[in-house]
Chains A and B, each alone.
Chain A
Amino acid sequence: MIRLVPRSDTPALLQVATPVMAVLATMIAGGILFAIMGYDPVAAIKTIFWDPLFGLAASYSRPQLLVKAAPLILIASGLAVGFRAGIWNIGAEGQYIIGAITGAAVALAAYPAPEMWIFPAMVIAGAAGGWAWGMIPALLRNWFGASEILVSLMLVYVAQRIAAWMAFGPMRNPEGFGMPGSRNLQQYPAASNPELIAGTGAHWGVVAAAAAVLATWFLMSRHIRGFHIRAAGTAPRAARFAGVRPETLVAFCLGLSGALAGMAGLFEVAGPAGQITDKVGVGYGFTAIIVAFLGRLHPVGILLAGLLLALTYIGGELAQLTMNLPAATVQVFQGMLLFFLLGFDLLTRYRIARRVTA
């Protein structure tokens, strides 16, 4: 009989080894899947994991990894702070959408003014929109004890419908021949979020994601607030005796993750996506939750997890393109990867021991 014993600290080797083991296991299971489907398993796995980095068109796909990973990392950094305190914001998707809308609203209101202040104002508005949307579950929890998990999830649906309303109503492009969707912000220089250095893929969202990784690392390991957050997550009662106010933490964590998600939405809508449509939320907010856990709620882990997921997205597209692998096969493969990564993570938190019979 075996049993699990919680680890007090994880050996460094295991920290690195478990995700590698999970990826290897996915390659084996995925390879079997591809072989059953009639595709060359080695070629498929090489296409997904290797070609985006070192393949023929890698000079294009490598920067695209940053574009795809940036919103995931930006959102997940914020979420992880809350998760470590036991504050579960699962509505980042909603905060992302609202941030995109409030940020774009500034640009659409200013159109076609060329002033320099427009883009910074949009970033602030996007962050403020996300922050406000995140504060709703925070306040409802603090005032009435309503579960922030459920309120934040419900607010995703509300945000999605606000986006549809905006795309068909107030924000519809007056020069768009009656089609839904706002003006394209890529074509409005003062409001656009372009590639900063050609060929790198890096737009302001990538810069912000990098900054968020550094800032949350500093917060969690060097700042007293980070200590409080960790204390609240591991020993809530002790933290309370030590003078940590749970209400403050709830507002701080939901506000922070909301603001970062809102900024991610704004960078996306002003950059790669370009316009507010009814489909402005493409699931980054939900995928970021997975990224946060795959990254073990640690800033560096999140950085790597975000890049890994981006790799499978882009590699999956390449596999469709070069091997005619159906999109569904890629989706199943990604699902398997997540299952394995989540499952193998057990080894970092628990030690497997033989049950001693007394």
Chain B
Amino acid sequence: MNRRQLIASVAAMTTISLAVPAWAQDEPLKVGFIYVGPVGDGGWTYQHDQGRLAVEAEFGDRVETTFIESVPEGADAERAITQLVLAGNKLIFTTSFGFMDPTINVAAKFPDVKFEHATGYKRADNVATYDARFYEGRAVIGTIAGRMTKSNKIGYIGSFPIPEVIQGINSSFIHARKVNPDVEMKVVWAYSWFDPAKEADAAAALLAEGVDVILQHTDSTAPLAKAQEAGAIGFGQASDMAAFAPTPRVSSIIDNWAPYYIKRVGQVLDGTWTSEATWAGIGDGEVVIGEITEAVPAEVKAEALALRDKIAAGEYHPFTGPLNKADGSAWLAEGQTATDEELSGMNFFVEGITAEIPQ
């Protein structure tokens, strides 16, 4: 089954599914979370846990949350998710791409439990998916990067060559170039989401190439530490990384899962939850641009914030034509915007990026 059919069939199923009766108020709703890393990772998992805490703060006694951290993707995930079900959790968030198949498997066995899988593409009657439009935030920090670079070279530390990361590279490059036509983008793949020593080496390699602004799609603060040493600037990733403000961290792109988690828990509580695919961005508060520090000139800050607000209001799509692919072939015509389907399978760079995507 391809994605289009899947979406169609799920849509059909959700329309006929009946509203679930409102949750009994005397017993708290148990909500479980499965984390791929430790809560103390300061990045991806930390932000999901912040979302969990926000749910507790919002609903108080009406919910009870639990989590299992550092769950390896694969065999252990299925057991951990099942354990959450057996412990009475009625809504379970599985917060890593690698939990996709385990989530679907467990969900098939427990039709009365609702599941939410982050960043995946498989859904079922009781499995919703959610993801964030990180590329919207990348457009904003790309703008700052394009304005701030003096060497006209921007470095990007990618984790893995997967669509989500490629979207971010393209988006930040497009918007850096928009404000600075001479800008070049250097890309380095770390092949890890979190490996401080290697991320530091990657940052150093980019700095040696003459880069003075570093964007990162890996979770540690090592690139910021290297940028600081070299007098370059960077951006917080996943979490705010405020310890490195006002410089080298001049702003940040924050994963804020709280609004989504609160919304979905609320829907289960009042019986309006349905399985759907949510891909929310700046407008929904899921992607947040961290404070832009005084190291950024006021007019650049204003420009970045204006772009952020336009994206939030839905007036502007970061992937708006005319845009060509890196091989020179036409992609989007004037005024045309990229579809979600194109973005979720993105495997090419846009014109102007000279690096190649490893296959």
A joins B in a complex: yes
Where the two chains meet, the residues of A that have a C-beta atom closer than 8 Å to any C-beta of B are: 56-57, 60-61, 64, 67-68, 164, 168-169, 175, 177-181, 184, 186-187, 268, 271-275, 277, 279-280, 282, 314, 317-318, 320-322, 324, 326-328
CB–CB A321/B68 < 8 A: yes
Nearest CB of chain B from residue A287's CB, rounded to whole Å: 12
Alpha-carbon gap, A164 to B191, bound state (A): 9
A277 contacts which of B70, B82, B98, B121 (Cβ < 8 Å)?
Answer: B98
B160 at the interface (CB under 8 A from A): yes
Nearest CB of chain B from residue A65's CB, rounded to whole Å: 10
Interface string of B64-95 (1 = CB under 8 A from A): 00111110111110111011101100000000
Nearest CB of chain A from residue B210's CB, rounded to whole Å: 29
A180 contacts which of B70, B74, B101, B160 (Cβ < 8 Å)?
Answer: B160
A273 contacts which of B74, B347, B359 (Cβ < 8 Å)?
Answer: B74
B2 at the interface (CB under 8 A from A): yes
On chain B, which size bracket covers the interface?
Answer: 35 or more
CB–CB B69/A320 < 8 A: yes
B163 at the interface (CB under 8 A from A): yes
B74 contacts which of A68, A169, A272, A317 (Cβ < 8 Å)?
Answer: A272
On chain A, the residues within 8 Å of B313 by CB distance are none
Q: A180-B162, A184-B101 are in contact. Are A317 and B2 (CB under 8 A)?
A: no
CB–CB A282/B72 < 8 A: yes
Nearest CB of chain A from residue B331's CB, rounded to whole Å: 16
Nearest CB of chain A from residue B193's CB, rounded to whole Å: 11
CB–CB B82/A324 < 8 A: no
CB–CB B72/A175 < 8 A: no
Nearest CB of chain B from residue A114's CB, rounded to whole Å: 18
Alpha-carbon gap, A186 to B77, bound state (A): 14
A279 contacts which of B66, B73, B82, B359 (Cβ < 8 Å)?
Answer: B73
Give B110-131 interface residues, CB cut-off 8 Å to A: 121
Nearest CB of chain A from residue B169's CB, rounded to whole Å: 14
Q: A178-B347, A186-B105, A320-B69 are in contact. Are A272 and B75 (CB under 8 A)?
A: yes
B68 contacts which of A60, A164, A268, A317 (Cβ < 8 Å)?
Answer: A317
B316 at the interface (CB under 8 A from A): no
Interface centre among A181, A273, A282 (most CB of B within 10 A): A273
B345 at the interface (CB under 8 A from A): yes
On chain A, the residues within 8 Å of B72 by CB distance are 279, 282
CB–CB B74/A57 < 8 A: no
On chain B, the residues within 8 Å of A320 by CB distance are 66-69
Query: Which residue in chain A gives the minimum CB-CB distance to B37?
Result: A327
B23 at the interface (CB under 8 A from A): no
On chain A, the residues within 8 Å of B98 by CB distance are 181, 277, 279
On chain A, the residues within 8 Å of B3 by CB distance are 177
With A274-B101, A320-B67 given, name 19 new contacts (CB 8 A). Answer: A60-B83, A64-B79, A68-B79, A168-B161, A169-B359, A175-B2, A177-B3, A178-B162, A268-B75, A277-B74, A277-B98, A279-B74, A282-B76, A317-B79, A318-B83, A320-B68, A321-B66, A321-B87, A324-B66
CB–CB A67/B160 < 8 A: no
CB–CB B83/A179 < 8 A: no
A60 contacts which of B39, B86, B358, B359 (Cβ < 8 Å)?
Answer: B86
B151 at the interface (CB under 8 A from A): no
Nearest CB of chain A from residue B181's CB, rounded to whole Å: 30
Query: Which residue in chain A gives the minimum CB-CB distance to B344?
Result: A177
Nearest CB of chain A from residue B103's CB, rounded to whole Å: 12
Alpha-carbon gap, A228 to B135, bound state (A): 65
Query: Which residue in chain B gives the minimum CB-CB distance to A324?
Result: B66
B352 at the interface (CB under 8 A from A): no
Alpha-carbon gap, A173 to B32, bound state (A): 30
Alpha-carbon gap, A303 to B129, bound state (A): 41
Closest A-B pairs by Cβ, 3 of them: A272-B75, A57-B86, A273-B74
Nearest CB of chain A from residue B173's CB, rounded to whole Å: 19
B285 at the interface (CB under 8 A from A): no
Q: A164-B191, A186-B105, A326-B69 are in contact. Are A272 and B87 (CB under 8 A)?
A: no
A327 contacts which of B38, B87, B346 (Cβ < 8 Å)?
Answer: B38
